[in-house]
């Protein structure tokens, strides 16, 4: 099945986070465009999450530790770990969740 990214509408899931979502039976891929300054509060979920900042700089706090991420690093977030963060610049971020994020559907 082919999915054209240009045809997937972006949803503003939280203020400043605009995500194009692909849901499969086993996973969700989220392609985010994040506005500079947008913040996601600390939270956790039972899904594993693999995050990649493909453009810009994003300050992520994982289990209380802060680090600024940009292209070239892949972050593995294990299920239930606390995480949150803030876009220091406009960012593009790709997240892979397994299993699917049903609340994003």
Between 48 and 57, CB nearer to a copy of itself: 48
CA distance 17 to 40: 8
CA distance 96 to 31: 9
Between 16 and 19, CB nearer to a copy of itself: 19
Between 16 and 28, CB nearer to a copy of itself: 28
Is the distance from CB of 85 to CB of 61 less than 8 angstroms?
yes
Closest CB 19 distance from a copy of itself, rounded Å: 14
Closest CB 6 distance from a copy of itself, rounded Å: 6
Which residues would be at the binding site for a copy of itself (CB under 8 A)? Answer: 1-6, 22, 24-27, 29, 48, 50, 67, 72-76, 78, 96, 98-99
CA distance 49 to 37: 22
Is the distance from CB of 42 to CB of 82 less than 8 angstroms?
yes
CA distance 3 to 15: 26
Closest CB 77 distance from a copy of itself, rounded Å: 8
Closest CB 18 distance from a copy of itself, rounded Å: 17
């Amino acid at each position: 099945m082919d999915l054209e990214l240009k045809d997937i509408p972006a949803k503003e899931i939280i203020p400043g986070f605009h995500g194009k979502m692909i849901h499969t039976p086993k996973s969700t891929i989220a392609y985010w465009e994040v506005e500079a300054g947008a913040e996601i509060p600390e939270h956790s979920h039972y899904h594993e999450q693999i995050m990649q900042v493909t453009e810009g700089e994003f300050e992520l706090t994982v289990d209380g530790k802060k680090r600024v991420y940009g292209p070239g690093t892949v972050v593995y977030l294990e299920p239930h770990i606390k995480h949150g963060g803030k876009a220091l610049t406009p960012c593009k971020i790709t997240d892979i969740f397994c299993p699917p994020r049903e609340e994003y559907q």
